[in-house]
C-alpha cells in the first residue's frame, strides 16, 4: 500500500517536472495578450461605465476621433484623419476617414452627433457626461434647460465632416477626445435593443455589440473572462499585431499575483503590498510608472477648530511625507510637494509642501494650542483597507510626536465612508484623486465653491475667479500661470493635505512589446505585440 | 407524506415573504447607496439614475413594485451590472457554485464518513486519534490558508493545475478539495460521535450476541442510525456548499454565486442583495425539507407529522 502510494506520488512529481507549457508561452505564439483586469466590468457601454477595468476593455473595442501615441498618449489621428482649429480656438472641424463599424456600416459624422446627443440626454444618466461640457450648450442640454439639440455645438457638415463648437477655447480639448465618453457608439444598432437613451439594454452583449476599434467583442462570461478578437473591418488593421486579448476580472490581488507567477497572465492590474519588496528586485517584470493621481487627506473646514488655517498648516508641516513613501507605500511613489502631479500637461505648481516641525509648532501656538494644549482630539476617517490604515497610523504618530496633538482613528466600510465624506460627517479623512484627462484643470476645478468633489466645505472667491479666468485664457503659458496662482491659494489655505503622487504598479511579462509607461496607464493595443 | 410536503411548502411562503421584507428594508438602512463613488455624480445625474431604477418613488411604492415583480419571478435589474438582470446573474453563476459544491460535498461525505466510521470502530486507539487529529486540523485550517497552500504546492511548484480560473475540468479539483476539507472534518466528527453512540446500544449487543459479523453489524445495523447526525448536518451544509463560498471562489476566481453575496452588499446593489438572499433562503428551506424526509425514512421513531 505504502509502496503504491510512493510510486503514485513519484509519477505525479515527474509529470509535474515535465515541460508543461504555460498559458503565457502558448499565447505568445498565438499573439494573444492575457490581461489581469481587476474587477468585473459593470457594462461595456462607453456612455454608462465609469471605471478603469471598463476603460481597459473599451480602448480595445472602440476608437474615438483621435487615437493616442503609445509613448506619451498625445493625440494622433484616429477615426478622424485630420482636423482644423479656428483661430479663436473654439471651432474644431474633423475630417473622418473611411472607417467602418464591425457590422460593415460606415462610421459617419452623424454617428458622432447622435452619440453625443445620447450621452447628454438626461434619461441615460451618464455619469461622465460632464466630459462634454466644454462644448457649447452641452451642459444646458444635459440638465434639460435646452430641449433642442440643434443648439448644442455639434454639427455633421456632411457624412465625413464633423464640426464641434466650444464654449471657451479649451487647450486640452483634443486629449479629452481620448476619453471613452467621447467615443462614438453604434446608434443604429443600439435602437434595435431599446430606446437610444435607455440604460442597460442588451446591445453590449456578445453577438449584439457593434464597435469601431481595433478589436471586437467575442466572449463575455461574468466574473470569468472577456475575449476580444482582431476586427477585420478596422481601418488600420494591418498595424494590429495581436490576434486577441483576454481580460480576466481577478479582483483579488493575491490570486492575480499567483496567476502571473504560474504563467497565466502577461500583465497584472496591481501588485499586493507585501510583495512589492520582492518584486522590486526583479525590475524586468516589476513596473511602477508615474501615474496621474494624488493621495491626500481632506480637512472638514466647517468644524469649529479646523476652521483655523494655522492649525491646518501646522498639521501639514508636521507630516514626514518622505518617510511615508519610503517606509509604507514603498512602490516608488513621490512625496507630494503640491496637489497637481508635477508635469501634468507641462504644468508645475510651486512645490511648497515640506516638513518643518518648529514652524508647525509655532503655527499651532499661534492658533491658540501651544504644544497641542486645549485642542480636542482630532479624528481621522479612512475606509477599511490595510494600506490606508497604516498611513493613518503614521499620521497619528507624527502629529502626536511632533505637535502633541491627540488623534483618534475611525475606519468605515467603503460606502459608509463615502457617505460620511459627502455629508461632511468627518474631521479629517483620506482621499485619492485620479485625473480624468491630462490637464491641471482636472485637479483644480474640483475645489470650486460647492463643487461636487470638494467635500471639505472650503470656499474661496479669489480661487473661484482664477479657475474661471484660466478657462477663458487662450495663451497656454498664461493659462498655466493662472492655475499656478490658484493652486498657491489652495496650498496656503490647506483644506487638503496632499501626501504622495501615485504610481501604477503592476507586473509585466518581458514578452510584451510596444508597451510603454504612460501617465494614465493606458497602452494603445494596436501597437502592442508579443515576442518570446 | 404528500400532505406533509405540501404543508411544509406552504409554510415556506410566509417565511420567504418575511425574509424579503426584512432584507428589502434592511439593505436600504445601510448608509451609502448604489451610486455613491469616489468621484461624486452631480445631483442631476443622481436624480436621473434614481428615476431610472425607480428609487425616486416613495419607499412603500418601491416595496410593492418589487414584491409585485417578485411574484412573477422577476428579481429586477442589477444596479451595479447595468446590462444584466439579477435573474441572469444568478442563472449564470449558480451552476458554477453548484458544480463546485457537489464535488466538495462528495469529498466531504466520502472522506468524512470513512474517517469517522474508522475512528469509531476502535475508540481511543491510535487510528482513532489519527483520524480525530486530521479532522481537527481540517476544522482549524481555514479555506483562506488551505487554498493558497494547495495552489503554492500543486500549481506554482508542481504545475499540475492552474493557479486560478474555471476553464477546464482540472480547474475544479483544487477548489473542491479546499471547500470540502473543512466539511469533511465536521462530517468525520459527527459520524464518529453518532457511531459511538449507536455501537453502545442494546440492539447492537443483541446482534453481537446472535453472532453477526462485525462487518454486518456495522453496515447492516449501526451505520443507518449512526449517520443520523450527519444527515441533519447535511441540510444546511449542502445549501451552504451548493450556493458557493465567497472565500474559495475568490481565491480560485471561480465565477460562482458565492462572490455575489458579499460584493452585492458592498456595492449596495439592492436588487442583487435581495435576489441572492431569497435564493439562498429558498435553497435552505428546500434542503431542510429534503433532510426531514430522509430522516423519517432512516429513523423509524420519526413520523411525518
Q: What is the pLDDT of residue B199?
A: 86
Return the SS3 of A288.
Answer: strand
Separation in Å, CA of B244 to nearest CA in chain A: 14
Burial (CB < 10 A; 0-12, 13-18, 19+), residue A507, is: buried
A248–B253: do the CB atoms touch at under 8 Å? yes
Nearest CA in chain B to A141: B44
For A109-235, where are the E strands, in sequence order? 154-158, 161-165, 215-221, 225-230
Residue A195 CA to residue A485 CA, distance in Å, equals 47
Q: Which residue has the cell 510651486?
A: A350
Quote the mean pLDDT of chain B.
89
Tens-digit pLDDT profile for residues B8-52: 889 889 999 999 999 999 999 988 888 888 888 888 888 989 998
Q: Which of A19, A223, A252, A254 to mutate to test the interface with B (most CBs of B within 10 A)?
A: A223
DSSP single-letter state for residue B124: T
List chain B residues with CB under 8 Å of A415: 30-33, 36, 266-268
Element at A488 (helix H, strand E): helix A476-493
**Between A and B, how many CB-CB pairs are < 8 A?**
153
Q: Which residue has the cell 468585473?
A: A40
Tens-digit pLDDT profile for residues B52-94: 899 999 999 999 999 999 999 999 999 999 999 999 999 999 9
B36–A205: do the CB atoms touch at under 8 Å? no
Nearest CA in chain A to B39: A453
Mean pLDDT of B287-304: 82
What residues are paired with A507 via a beta bridge? A286
Nearest CA in chain A to B159: A16
Element at B284 (helix H, strand E): helix B270-298
Q: Which of B45, B90, B153, B275 to mutate to test the interface with A (most CBs of A within 10 A)?
A: B45
Closest CA to A114 of A192, A180, A186: A186
- Cα first-last separation, chain B: 9
Closest CA to A227 of A254, A201, A209, A251: A209
CB proximity list for A341: less than 8 A, separation 6 or greater: A290, A291, A292, A293, A294, A435, A443, A501, A519
Dihedral of CA A51/A53/A56/A61: which sign? negative
List chain A residues with CB under 8 Å of B48: 122-125
The DSSP code sequence of A316-383 is: HHT--HHHHIIIII-SSPEEPSSSSPTTBTTB---------HHHHHHHHHHTT-GGGTTPPPEEEEEE
List chain B residues with CB under 8 Å of A225: 165, 167
Query: What b/e sequence results for A42-78 when a residue is b if at least 16 CB atoms lie within 10 Å of its CB, and e otherwise?
Result: bbbbbbbbbebbbbbbbbbbbbbbbbbebeebebeeb
Burial (CB < 10 A; 0-12, 13-18, 19+), residue A229, is: middle
Q: What is the pLDDT of residue B236?
A: 76
List chain B residues with CB under 8 Å of A418: 32, 36-38
Q: Which residue has the cell 488593421?
A: A237
Q: What is the pLDDT of residue B305?
A: 64
A262–B32: do the CB atoms touch at under 8 Å? no
B36–A419: do the CB atoms touch at under 8 Å? yes
**Per-residue pLDDT in tens (0 to 9) along chain A, 532 residues:** 344 444 444 444 444 444 468 999 999 999 999 999 999 999 999 999 988 999 999 999 999 999 999 998 899 999 999 999 999 889 999 999 999 999 999 999 999 999 999 999 999 999 999 999 999 999 999 999 999 999 999 999 999 999 999 998 888 899 899 999 999 999 999 999 999 999 999 999 999 999 999 999 999 999 999 999 999 999 999 999 999 999 999 999 999 999 999 999 999 999 998 899 999 999 999 999 989 999 999 999 999 889 999 999 999 999 999 999 999 998 889 999 999 999 898 899 999 999 999 999 999 999 999 998 999 999 999 999 889 999 999 999 999 999 999 999 999 999 999 999 999 999 999 999 999 888 999 999 999 998 889 999 999 999 999 999 998 888 889 999 999 999 999 999 999 999 999 999 999 999 999 999 999 999 999 999 999 8
Q: Tell whether A40 lies on the interface with B, counting CB pairs under 8 A.
A: yes
Q: Tell whether A14 lies on the interface with B, counting CB pairs under 8 A.
A: no
Q: Which of A8, A200, A201, A206 to mutate to test the interface with B (most CBs of B within 10 A)?
A: A200
Separation in Å, CA of B255 to nearest CA in chain A: 5
B81: nearest CB among A42, A202, A258: A42
For A145-285, where are the E strands, in sequence order? 154-158, 161-165, 215-221, 225-230, 244-248
* Contact by Cβ (8 Å): A316, A497: yes
Residue B243 CA to residue B257 CA, distance in Å, equals 6
A200: nearest CB among B82, B158, B163: B82
CB proximity list for A462: less than 8 A, separation 6 or greater: A489
If pLDDT is split at 50, 70 and 90, which confidence band does B139 have? confident
* Contact by Cβ (8 Å): B230, B105: no
Q: Tell whether A204 lies on the interface with B, counting CB pairs under 8 A.
A: yes
Residue B283 CA to residue A463 CA, distance in Å, equals 59
| Alpha-carbon distances of B53 from A28, B11, B34, rounded to whole Å | 44, 32, 10
Q: Tell whether A413 lies on the interface with B, counting CB pairs under 8 A.
A: yes
Separation in Å, CA of B265 to nearest CA in chain A: 10
* Contact by Cβ (8 Å): A286, A409: no
Q: Which residue has the cell 499651532?
A: A364
Q: Which residue has the cell 463648437?
A: A165
CB proximity list for B29: less than 8 A, separation 6 or greater: none
User: Torsion angle, CA of B21/B24/B29/B34, rounded to 10 degrees?
Assistant: 180
Q: What is the pLDDT of residue B30?
A: 87
List chain A residues with CB under 8 Å of B175: none
CB proximity list for B153: less than 8 A, separation 6 or greater: none
Separation in Å, CA of A66 to nearest CA in chain B: 25
Q: Tell whether A257 lies on the interface with B, counting CB pairs under 8 A.
A: no
List chain B residues with CB under 8 Å of A255: 163-164, 250-253
Tens-digit pLDDT profile for residues B159-200: 899 999 999 999 999 999 999 998 999 899 999 999 988 888
Q: What is the pLDDT of residue A16?
A: 46
Q: What is the pLDDT of residue A132?
A: 96
Burial (CB < 10 A; 0-12, 13-18, 19+), residue B97, is: buried
List chain A residues with CB under 8 Å of B251: 252, 254-255
Mean pLDDT of B268-296: 90
Nearest CA in chain A to B45: A125
Q: What is the pLDDT of residue A20?
A: 67
The total of other beta-carbon atoms located within 10 Å of residue B81's CB is 23
Residue A144 CA to residue A122 CA, distance in Å, equals 7
A258: nearest CB among B33, B151, B158: B151
A44–B45: do the CB atoms touch at under 8 Å? no
Q: What is the pLDDT of residue B138?
A: 79
Domains of chain B are 93-258 (1.10.3720.10)
User: Torsion angle, CA of A399/A403/A408/A410, rounded to 10 degrees?
Assistant: -30
List chain A residues with CB under 8 Å of B267: 415
Separation in Å, CA of A426 to nearest CA in chain B: 14
Q: What is the pLDDT of residue B151?
A: 95
List chain A residues with CB under 8 Å of B170: none
* Contact by Cβ (8 Å): A186, A115: no
Amino acid at each position: 500500500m505504502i509502496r503504491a502510494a510512493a510510486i503514485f506520488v513519484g509519477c505525479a512529481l515527474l509529470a509535474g517536472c515535465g515541460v508543461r507549457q504555460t498559458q503565457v508561452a502558448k499565447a505568445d505564439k498565438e499573439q494573444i495578450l492575457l490581461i489581469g483586469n481587476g474587477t468585473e466590468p459593470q457594462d461595456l457601454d462607453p456612455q454608462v461605465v465609469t471605471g478603469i477595468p471598463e476603460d481597459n476593455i473599451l480602448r480595445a473595442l472602440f476608437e474615438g476621433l483621435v487615437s493616442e501615441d503609445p509613448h506619451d498618449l498625445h493625440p494622433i489621428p484616429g477615426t478622424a484623419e485630420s482636423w482644423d482649429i479656428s483661430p479663436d480656438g473654439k471651432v474644431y472641424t474633423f475630417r473622418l476617414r473611411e472607417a467602418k463599424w464591425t457590422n460593415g456600416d460606415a462610421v459617419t459624422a452623424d454617428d458622432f452627433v447622435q452619440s453625443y446627443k445620447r450621452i447628454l440626454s438626461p434619461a441615460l444618466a451618464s455619469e461622465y457626461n460632464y466630459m462634454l461640457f466644454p462644448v457649447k450648450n452641452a451642459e444646458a442640454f444635459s440638465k434639460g434647460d435646452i430641449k433642442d439639440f440643434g443648439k448644442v455645438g455639434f454639427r455633421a457638415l456632411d457624412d465625413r465632416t464633423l464640426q464641434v463648437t466650444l464654449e471657451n477655447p479649451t487647450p486640452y480639448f483634443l486629449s479629452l477626445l481620448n476619453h471613452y465618453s467621447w467615443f462614438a457608439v453604434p446608434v443604429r444598432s443600439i435602437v434595435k435593443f431599446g430606446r437610444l437613451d435607455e440604460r442597460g439594454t442588451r446591445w453590449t452583449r456578445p453577438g449584439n455589440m457593434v464597435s469601431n476599434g481595433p478589436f471586437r467583442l467575442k466572449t463575455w462570461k461574468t466574473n470569468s473572462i472577456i475575449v476580444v478578437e482582431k476586427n477585420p473591418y478596422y481601418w488600420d488593421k494591418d498595424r494590429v499585431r495581436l490576434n486577441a486579448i483576454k481580460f480576466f476580472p481577478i479582483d483579488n490581488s493575491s490570486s492575480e499575483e499567483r496567476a502571473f507567477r504560474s504563467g497565466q497572465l502577461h500583465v497584472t492590474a496591481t501588485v499586493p503590498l507585501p510583495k512589492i519588496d520582492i518584486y522590486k528586485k526583479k525590475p524586468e517584470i516589476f513596473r511602477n510608472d508615474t501615474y496621474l493621481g494624488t493621495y491626500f487627506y481632506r480637512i472638514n473646514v466647517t468644524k469649529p477648530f479646523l476652521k483655523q488655517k494655522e492649525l491646518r498648516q501646522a498639521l501639514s508641516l508636521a507630516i514626514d511625507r518622505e518617510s511615508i513613501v519610503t517606509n509604507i507605500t514603498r512602490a516608488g511613489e513621490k512625496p507630494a510637494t503640491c496637489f497637481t502631479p508635477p508635469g501634468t500637461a507641462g504644468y508645475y505648481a510651486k512645490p511648497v509642501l515640506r516638513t518643518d516641525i518648529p514652524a508647525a509648532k509655532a503655527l499651532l501656538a499661534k492658533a491658540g494650542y501651544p504644544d497641542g494644549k486645549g485642542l480636542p482630539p482630532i479624528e481621522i476617517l479612512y475606509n477599511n483597507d490595510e494600506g490606508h490604515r497604516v498611513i493613518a497610523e503614521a499620521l497619528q504618530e507624527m502629529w502626536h510626536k511632533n505637535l502633541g496633538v491627540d488623534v483618534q482613528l475611525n475606519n468605515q466600510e467603503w460606502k459608509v465612508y463615502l457617505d460620511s465624506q459627502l455629508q461632511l460627517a468627518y474631521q479629517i479623512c483620506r482621499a485619492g484623486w485620479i485625473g480624468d484627462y491630462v490637464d491641471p484643470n482636472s485637479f483644480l476645478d474640483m475645489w470650486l465653491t460647492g463643487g461636487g468633489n470638494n467635500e471639505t466645505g472650503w470656499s474661496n472667491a479669489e480661487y473661484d475667479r482664477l479657475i474661471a479666468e484660466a478657462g477663458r485664457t487662450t495663451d497656454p503659458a498664461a493659462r498655466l500661470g493662472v492655475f499656478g496662482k490658484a493652486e498657491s491659494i489652495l496650498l496656503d489655505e490647506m483644506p487638503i493635505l496632499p501626501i504622495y503622487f501615485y504610481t501604477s504598479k503592476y507586473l509585466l511579462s518581458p514578452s510584451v512589446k510596444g508597451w510603454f509607461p504612460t501617465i494614465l496607464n493606458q497602452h494603445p493595443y494596436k501597437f502592442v505585440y508579443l515576442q518570446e | 407524506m404528500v400532505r406533509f410536503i405540501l404543508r411544509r411548502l406552504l409554510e415556506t411562503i410566509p417565511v420567504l415573504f418575511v425574509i424579503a421584507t426584512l432584507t428589502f428594508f434592511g439593505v436600504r438602512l445601510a448608509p451609502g447607496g448604489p451610486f455613491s463613488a469616489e468621484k461624486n455624480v452631480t445631483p442631476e445625474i443622481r436624480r436621473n439614475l434614481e428615476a431610472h431604477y425607480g428609487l425616486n418613488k416613495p419607499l412603500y411604492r418601491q416595496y410593492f413594485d418589487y414584491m409585485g415583480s417578485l411574484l412573477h419571478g422577476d428579481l429586477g435589474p442589477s444596479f451595479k451590472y447595468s446590462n444584466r438582470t439579477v435573474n441572469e446573474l444568478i442563472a449564470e453563476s449558480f451552476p458554477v457554485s453548484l458544480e463546485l459544491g457537489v464535488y466538495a460535498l462528495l469529498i466531504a461525505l466520502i472522506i468524512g464518513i470513512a474517517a469517522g466510521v474508522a475512528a469509531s470502530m476502535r475508540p481511543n486507539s491510535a487510528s482513532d486519534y489519527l483520524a480525530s487529529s486530521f479532522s481537527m486540523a481540517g476544522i482549524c485550517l481555514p479555506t483562506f490558508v488551505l487554498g493558497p497552500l494547495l495552489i503554492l504546492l500543486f500549481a506554482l511548484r508542481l504545475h499540475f493545475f492552474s493557479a486560478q480560473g474555471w476553464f477546464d475540468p482540472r480547474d475544479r479539483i483544487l477548489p473542491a478539495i479546499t471547500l470540502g476539507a473543512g466539511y469533511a472534518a465536521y462530517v468525520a466528527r459527527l459520524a464518529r460521535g453518532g457511531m459511538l453512540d449507536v455501537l453502545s446500544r442494546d440492539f447492537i449487543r443483541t446482534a453481537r450476541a446472535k453472532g453477526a459479523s462485525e462487518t454486518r453489524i456495522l453496515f447492516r445495523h449501526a451505520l443507518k442510525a449512526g449517520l443520523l447526525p450527519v444527515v441533519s448536518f447535511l441540510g444546511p451544509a449542502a445549501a451552504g456548499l451548493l450556493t458557493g463560498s465567497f472565500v474559495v471562489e475568490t481565491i480560485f476566481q471561480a465565477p460562482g454565486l458565492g462572490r455575489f453575496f458579499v460584493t452585492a452588499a458592498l456595492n449596495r446593489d439592492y436588487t442583487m442583495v435581495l435576489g441572492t438572499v431569497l435564493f439562498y433562503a429558498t435553497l435552505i428551506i428546500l434542503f431542510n425539507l429534503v433532510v426531514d424526509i430522509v430522516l423519517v425514512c432512516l429513523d423509524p421513531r420519526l413520523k411525518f407529522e
